[in-house]
Structure 1
Amino acid sequence: MPVEVRSASACSALFTSPVDAARGLLSHTGLEPVRTVRGRALCSLAFVRYTDGDLGPYHEFALALLARLPGERKSVGAYIHWLPVNQGFTLQAGRSIWGFPKELADIDIRFTGRAHVCVVRKDGQLVLALRVRRGLPVPPGTGGTSVDAYTHQDGVLRRTPWRMRPARVRARPGGARLLLGDHPAADPLRALRLSRSALTTSEIGILRMTFDDAREIG
């Protein structure tokens, strides 16, 4: 530790969800959803193509909710609810080291000139397809951040410090199209009743990340 990701590419889309729907997904964790000014929860959908890192090359999709510990305003982080990957080593490492909810899936990620697409399938069935259109360039030197990633496995809540160093960033309002398939793995997304349009979408051409050791909470 720490685990380093030296080169990756990523896209994300930020949606809103009714607070009661988000609270249902968090009910077993002890976390509560963070509300927007309009009283809705925030949900991030992201896909990452890892090309160089300590866990090897692989593809990943992430479903995360912005959440915090009750009564602790400074504890805001990203609760990772679902994290399918397409390689076995990162699955075992992610589950055993951090408690990440990783599972194997077929993940096809395509970065093209006008839009980027991720298709996730399990057992030969479509789970989801997310298309993110390209945005406008963000000035260099902006966008670096440190955030806590929350996970919940076997009744244990964990918090992992996670630092990102992005470059070649593009962003825009809207710009996402989400299609849910018939596989049961899509049911939690249906239950969230996501907004029809994304608030924002972003693209990171070069992403470097560092994951520290997980800490148990409570």
Structure 2
Amino acid sequence: MSLFQGLTFLTTVNDLKALPAEGVEVAFAGRSNAGKSSAINTLANHTRLAYVSKTPGRTQHINYFDFGNTRRLVDLPGYGYAAVPEAVRKHWQGLLGKYLANRANLIGLVLIMDSRRPLTDLDRLMLDFFLPTGKPVHCVLTKSDKLNNQEKVQALRTVKDEFAGNPQITVQLFSSSKKQGVSEVEKVVGAWFDDVLQQMNEIEPMDGE
């Protein structure tokens, strides 16, 4: 069974103080209506695992899903929806910024961006919070089925050129409706977990020490 098809819902929290103390986690972040929940559902091959709101920006909680073996997926609130009151929007940005910058359990960020409108100011803000940690980022350009082949090439090139020479960031195209790009996300996220868990096992003290 693939990594994401073993995914199960774990818990929902709305405050950083309530985050689980145990486990290692990969966060999925993205602008409201960029297709984040649809991408998680597609990866898990489950139509209703992650909530897809008909009103973008409504999901305000941090949702935890469990892969097993102390591995977690964290579905962060979508950001940037214009209809959300300014005070709420600033709260979300502050919450996400603190989580991305300071969460020790977090080992990598999957940044979901609409392939037709990648690298918005808020996407860059999220990267500004996270990149100083030195942890990896995988940019997933969703809704690629809405682009023709030339537009796909251009969207991918635009984001890759933005981060050329930065090994911390990888980029791919993705389509939930066509189920394209699933194996690539699985490979990247699986490698993150494997690397970190191997390092954790290597530094555990031996019996008698």
TM above 0.5:
no
* Greater relative contact order structure (CA < 8 Å, 6+ sep): 1
What is the TM-score with the length of structure 2 in the denominator?
Answer: 0.27
Structure number with the higher helix fraction is: 2
Structure number with the higher strand fraction is: 1
